[in-house]
Amino acid sequence: MAGRNGGSTTWRLTEDLARWTDDRLGGAEFLRRNLRKAFPGHWAFLLGEIALYSFTVLLITGVFLTLFFEPVSSEIIYNGSYAPLRGVRMSEAYASTLRISFDIRGGLLIRQIHHWAANVFLAAISVHLLRIFFTGAFRKPREINWLIGVTLFTLALAEGFAGYSLPDDLLSGTGLRIAQGIMLSIPVIGTYVSMWVFGGEFPGQDFIPRLFTVHILLIPGILLGLITAHLMILWHQTHTQFPARGRRELTVAGHKTWPHFAAQSTAYFLYTFGVLALMATVLQVNPVWLYGPYDPAQVSIGSQPDWYVGFLEGALRITPPISTTVAGHTVPWNVLLPTVVLPGVFFTCIALYPFLERWATGDDRVHHLLDRPRNAATRTAIGAAVIAWYGDLWAAGGNDVLAHTFGFNLYGTTWFFRVGFFAFPLLAFAITRRACLSLQRRDLRVREEGVESGLISLTPGGAFTERHEQPSDDREAVLLARRPEELVASYPRHIIPLPTPSRARAQIHTRLNRFYFNYQSESYGGGQGDLSGDGSPAEWDGEAKAKKREKRR
């Protein structure tokens, strides 16, 4: 009885508190409305959640590390627990990293969780962006969230490099020296940029404290704000969904936020935290005590940066030694082009891609239904080409390790990756586009002929034929999710072919449009979604299905 009374009292107090809060803030109706919001369930959507959970783990572990790390560049004589480095002069930053690793209870585990979480955070963002790209989730009305995602990825790269550089070990110091060389390669202002960043000559006494502030305060604050904005926009616009029976462009179906999605997200967060803790326990990462303190006169053999900046290292290694001297000033193109111009153009193109595709295709409709990558053959081929290009640079960043491990000629590997810089993207584009068109043709056969049943029949004429069956409603809905020819633009016809700016723009627009869509002669079944108001295919009606079944009989 006492338990019941106690429970009733607690429930009444909770109700009174909720009513008191609602009377002053008016949040009950907001919660009631939003807790019923639908979230589609698909494993691909977990990629973005992994990035969010990894960022949460980064914040939690980062607070712990901040309590013990000393962001000071002044040198001391180490006399700590790690015997091989006793008596060695090192910065207080490096000494505090050793203290966290060997003297603070659980310090090494937290350090490794933090480092693995940073790697997983960037990997999850990368794969999440690829999923959004290949499925067309960046289309209207989600262009703003795409820009936020690209900005998050860029800031995450900077944040990861900053955290990687804070321990002031020999490996991270070498990376900072390369970063300073990149700054110096900028014409006219390069020297001023380097002096401003490092507070004087490299390495200087002010850089570690500045980097620490940027790493724990500035960039995390911006990331937190952008992630909040990203989630708020996602909440307002609702989630995307994959094609399936009964799904339409302008409606979204899924599980309610409470309790299904909330419980699922909590479990996923715990899984992510557990996997990161397991990785930190059994997989060593960034053992700074093996590298030693940073010394400008030393460089580790086979030193490699973290994977997410490996493409910049590769671009540096394969660029020929080209420089130009103008008015007594040397412009080192072999540093400026691969590390400043190339990443700038790369990230700008990624950010502007949704607007380029929208202009090229003329598709100005609202989309909540995702594309199957095979149905957007050109876009999928572009993505594959970029992956091949990035992979070539990433592998080139370890050309010395590859040459030493496999016995290759070092200069031969360099030329291999130089040729691959141009050849691999073209090859990946052609193969991927051809594969997508082949998959489209297979879908077309299934739509026209049905699904192979494995049942062989003997005709009166003595021939053997295989019986085809009608696809299930779920599969047919996926096959009919898109239609072929609705957005293919016709070539403009001019009576007098004057090269005016508007006509040149029209010609460029038409050719870009045909570049995306003019593969109907090879395989009709592509396109960029149907034009009907609710997003349902024209074939998806009872009469059309009846005719198809009659034909197959």
Give the mean model confidence (pLDDT) for residues 161-170.
93
Interval 186-208 mean pLDDT: 89
Domain contains 532: no
Enumerate the β-bridge partners of residue 77: 89
* Residue 517 domain boundaries: 488-493+500-522
pLDDT for residue 131 is more than 90: yes
Least confident of 140-149, 262-271, 273-282: 262-271
In this predicted structure, the answer to whether residue 24 has a pLDDT above a threshold of 90 is no
What CATH number has the domain bearing residue 159?
Answer: 1.20.810.10
Question: What per-residue confidence (pLDDT) applies to 540?
Answer: 38
What one-letter code names the amino acid at 522?
E
Phi, psi of 539, deg, nearest 5: -70, -15
Residue 203: inside a domain? yes
Chain mean position to CA 433: 22
Residues 123, 195, single domain; the answer is: yes
Segment 391-407 mean pLDDT: 93
**Dihedral-angle region of residue 233 (phi above 0 means left; psi in -120 to 50 means alpha; beta otherwise):** alpha
Q: How confident is the model at residue 524 (pLDDT cuts 50, 70, 90)?
A: very low
CA distance 93 to 87: 16
Q: Does pLDDT of 430 surpass 90?
A: yes
- Determine the pLDDT at residue 449: 77
pLDDT at site 221: 96
CB of 505 within 8 A of CB of 497? no
Residue type, 205: Q
Query: Are 451 and 506 in a shared domain?
Result: no
Other Cβ atoms within 10 Å of 400 Cβ, number: 16
| Angle, vertex CA 56, rays to CA 51 and CA 57, nearest 5 | 95
Rounded percentage of the chain residues whose pLDDT exceeds 90? 52
- Tell me whether residue 441 is in a domain: yes
Mean pLDDT of the region 252-259: 71
**Per-residue pLDDT at 553 exceeds 90:** no
Amino acid, res. 503:
R
Using a pLDDT cut of 70, give the percent of the chain over it: 82
Q: What is the predicted pLDDT for the residue at 19?
A: 75
- 336 versus 4: which is more confidently predicted? 336
Residues 344 and 410 in one domain: no
Check pLDDT > 60 for residue 525. Answer: no
Judge if 64 and 169 occupy the same domain: yes
**pLDDT of 487:** 61
Q: Which amino acid is at 415?
A: W
Q: Is 240 helix (H, G, I), strand (E, B) or coil?
A: coil
Average pLDDT over residues 251-262: 72
- pLDDT for 513 beyond 80: no
Q: Based on the fold, state whether residues 165 and 254 are members of the same structural domain.
A: yes
Q: Which are the contacts of 407, defined by CB distance < 8 A and separation ≥ 6?
A: none
pLDDT at 316 over 50: yes
Is 98 a residue whose pLDDT tops 90? Answer: yes
Predicted confidence at residue 534, as pLDDT, reads 40
Confidence of residue 28 (pLDDT cuts 50, 70, 90): low
How confident is the model at residue 40, as a pLDDT? 75
Helices (H), 261-370: 262-282, 288-291, 310-318, 333-336, 342-361
Is residue 412 included in any domain, yes or no?
A: yes
**What's the pLDDT band for 489 if we cut at 50, 70, 90?**
low
1, part of any domain: no
Specify whether the CB–CB gap between 516 and 356 falls below 8 A: no
pLDDT band at 446, cuts 50/70/90? confident
> In the predicted model, is pLDDT for residue 33 greater than 70?
no
Label residue 509 by pLDDT band (50, 70, 90).
Answer: confident
279 Cβ contact partners less than 8 Å away, ≥ 6 residues apart: 112, 116
Closest Cα to residue 212, out of 59, 71, 334, 57? 71
pLDDT at 313: 93
Tokens for 53, please give them.
Answer: 């959970």
**What's the CA angle centered on 537, arms 534 and 538, to 5 degrees?**
105
**Where among 371, 406, 440 does a domain terminate?**
371
pLDDT of 346 higher than 90: yes
pLDDT band at residue 456 using 50, 70 and 90 as cut-offs: confident
Task: Identify whether residues 367 and 387 lie together within a single domain.
Answer: no
Confidence (pLDDT) at 463: 79
DSSP, collapsed to helix, strand or coil, labels residue 457 as strand
HSE toward the beta carbon, residue 206, CA cutoff 13 A = 8
Q: Are residues 302 and 283 in the same domain?
A: yes
The answer to whether residue 541 is domain-embedded is no
**Cα–Cα dist 78/75, whole Å:** 9
| Predicted confidence band of residue 34 (pLDDT cuts 50, 70, 90) | low
Q: What's the pLDDT at 511?
A: 78
Q: How many domains does the chain have?
A: 3
Look at residue 53 and tell me whether its pLDDT is greater than 70.
Answer: yes
Are 321 and 449 found together in one domain?
no
Farthest-apart Cα atoms in the chain, separation: 96
Place of tokens 């480092």: 115
Q: Beta strands 255-256 and 89-91: pairing type? A: unpaired
Residue 369 is classified by DSSP as: B
In terms of domains, do 361 and 408 share one? no
Check residue 314 and give its pLDDT: 94
Question: Can you give the pLDDT at residue 416?
Answer: 96
3-class DSSP string for 110-132? HHHHHHHHHHHHHHHHHHHHHHH
The CA–CA distances, whole Å, from 121 to 54, 67, 222, 346 equal 5, 23, 16, 21
Question: Cα–Cα distance between 443 and 482 in angstroms, integer?
Answer: 11
Which span out of 432-446, 492-506, 539-553 was modeled with the highest average pLDDT? Answer: 432-446
**Mean pLDDT for the chain?**
84
pLDDT of amino acid 298 = 83
- Does some domain include residue 332? yes
Higher-pLDDT residue of 293, 475: 293
Do 197 and 328 fall into the same domain? yes
Ranges 130-144, 233-247, 266-280, 341-355: which has the least confidence: 233-247
Is the pLDDT at 75 greater than 90? The verdict is yes
Residue 356's contacts (CB-CB under 8 Å, 6 or more residues apart) are none
The answer to whether residue 535 sits within a structural domain is: no
Could you tell me which of 384, 353, 364, 381 has the C-alpha nearest to residue 529?
Answer: 364
Regarding whether 458 and 391 lie in a shared domain, the answer is yes
Question: 197 and 210, same structural domain?
Answer: yes
More reliable by pLDDT, 74 or 305: 74
Angle ∠(129,418,378) on CA atoms, nearest 5: 40
Mean pLDDT of 516-520: 64
Domain boundary among 419, 452, 483: 483
- How far is it, in rounded angstroms, from Cα 448 to Cα 442? 10
pLDDT, mean of residues 419-445:
91
